[in-house]
Amino acid sequence: MKHIAILGSTGSIGKNTLSVVETHADEFKVVGLAANRDVDTLEQQIRRYRPALVALNEPAAAAQLSERIRDINCTQVLAGTEGLQAVATMPQASQVLDGMGGTAGLLPTLAAINAGKDIAFVNKEVMVMAGPLVKAAVKKNGVNLIPIDGEMSAIFQCLEGARDQQPDIHRLLITASGGPFREVPKEALYSVTPQQALRHPNWKMGQKITIDSATMMNKGLEVIEAKWLFDMELSKIDVVIHPESIVHSMVEWTDGSTLAQLGPTDMRIMIQYALTYPRRLSAPVPRLDLMEARTLHFEPVDFEKFPCLSLAYSAAEVGGTLPVVLSSADEVVVAAFLETRIRFMDIPAILARVMDAHAVIADPTLSDILEVDRWAKTTARSIIKNKKIMSQASY
């Protein structure tokens, strides 16, 4: 019986993780849960799983939750960053699943690693912002760092048994569906709405990652993540459009062979593998029917149409704190787009402005990263607040 703590239990990844737990109740026990502010969902999860410790990032929400579960004596409620870190480091948990998006997952993830916990993670922003620090902590503490995100999990699986053969890898091929606007001309992207951008053709995900998929920022962040996660040169990481989302990513070797991981578009496969690694158990998902799929298509990325991907490659090439700026500012501009305060194509334009304004720190400490995170978000908010609607010429 593996005892697990889940960060981001009320989001899509957390809910899918609990679905896996339900399927294999003899394999897993939930001992800790943490979320941002969703009191209703977390209360339901507490009553179902009876964890020893829970936390909400927002103190007011945590106080409300404490009142609601006064009848449950076995669960302690904590608040804020300290509460999240307490869940991430609780002695009862042997593995921590980090499903918290954005900067919020950084400190709990590092705390869990330093506490000797194996990590299953979907929060690519952690690797984008602090890849060298995370990898150093993983090596120092001898823990497993297992990706859940479909593309990174696919590469992880393709590399099984070949961890020491990086020189034999010709390139990593990260697949992208192309999102809802793959066939939409660039000129039409200036007027798309949040509702249109949230209609991902293949995956059901949270709002932030769905918008990132529509702009292809998601792929850009994955490029930076793969660089650190797999110790790979940037020149060996490519993105390819694959509309069916059946091939989740590929590894091409120097001898011309290419290994691919294929499967249905269901995150529970990747979540379960991360929890059971290196074992594989039956999964509660439909089987992939290649006879039904019939044809798989691949096409190059249009970098002019999706400038966020170019920004990510630039940030990765410069390194230091520039990926921090990109990731942190993206949280702000995506939120502004969802609130209809900016247009869809304002997203890359504002990100470029924030990146241009940043003085890069080449070898940042954790303190530097947290300060740059604050600076990037403040700068992005200032641009959004003070700007007028940009003209198409701005792009």
pTM score of the predicted model: 0.93
Residue 15 belongs to some domain of the structure: yes
Summarised one tens digit per residue, pLDDT across range 124-156 is 999 999 999 999 999 999 999 999 999 999 999
pLDDT at 164: 65
Percent of the chain with pLDDT over 90: 88
Looking at the 3D structure of the chain, how many domains does it have? Answer: 3
CATH code for the domain of 104: 3.40.50.720
Summarised one tens digit per residue, pLDDT across range 156-179 is 999 986 766 678 999 999 999 999
Summarised one tens digit per residue, pLDDT across range 272-297 is 999 999 999 998 888 999 898 889 99
My answer on whether 123 and 179 are in the same domain is no
Give the tokens for residue 305.
């149409």
pLDDT at 163: 64
Residue 281 belongs to some domain of the structure: no
Summarised one tens digit per residue, pLDDT across range 27-68 is 999 999 999 999 999 999 999 999 999 999 999 999 999 999
Summarised one tens digit per residue, pLDDT across range 318-358 is 999 999 999 999 999 999 999 999 999 999 999 999 999 99
Q: Which residue is listed with tokens 């409620």? A: 77
My answer on whether 154 and 76 are in the same domain is no
My answer on whether 133 and 245 are in the same domain is no
My answer on whether 64 and 106 are in the same domain is yes
Q: Cα(247)–Cα(251) distance, rounded to whole angstroms?
A: 11
Summarised one tens digit per residue, pLDDT across range 104-122 is 889 999 999 999 999 999 9
Instruction: Name every residue whose Cβ is closer than 8 Å to that of residue 264 and which is 6 or more positions away in sequence.
Output: 246, 285, 286, 287, 288
Strand (E) or helix (H) holding 185: none
Q: Cα(378)–Cα(383) distance, rounded to whole angstroms?
A: 9
Mean pLDDT of 245-251: 96
Residue 159 belongs to some domain of the structure: yes
My answer on whether 164 and 143 are in the same domain is no
**CB-based contacts of 76-81 (< 8 A; 24+ apart in sequence):** 76/52, 78/53, 78/54, 79/55, 80/55, 81/57, 81/107, 81/108
Residue 280 belongs to some domain of the structure: no
My answer on whether 36 and 127 are in the same domain is yes
Distance of CA 184 to the CA centre of its chain: 26
The three-state DSSP-derived secondary structure of 356-367 is HCCCCCCCCCHH
Would you say 125 and 206 are in contact if contact means Cβ atoms under 8 Å apart?
Answer: no
Residue 275 belongs to some domain of the structure: no
My answer on whether 290 and 368 are in the same domain is no
My answer on whether 203 and 309 are in the same domain is yes
Domain, as residue range, for 111: 2-147
- Four-residue CA torsion sign, 281, 286, 287, 288: negative
Residue 66 belongs to some domain of the structure: yes
My answer on whether 375 and 300 are in the same domain is no
Mean pLDDT of 233-260: 96
Would you say 118 and 94 are in contact if contact means Cβ atoms under 8 Å apart?
Answer: yes
Q: Which residue is listed with tokens 């009142």? A: 67
- Look at residues 147, 171, 189 and tell me which one is the last residue of a structural domain: 147
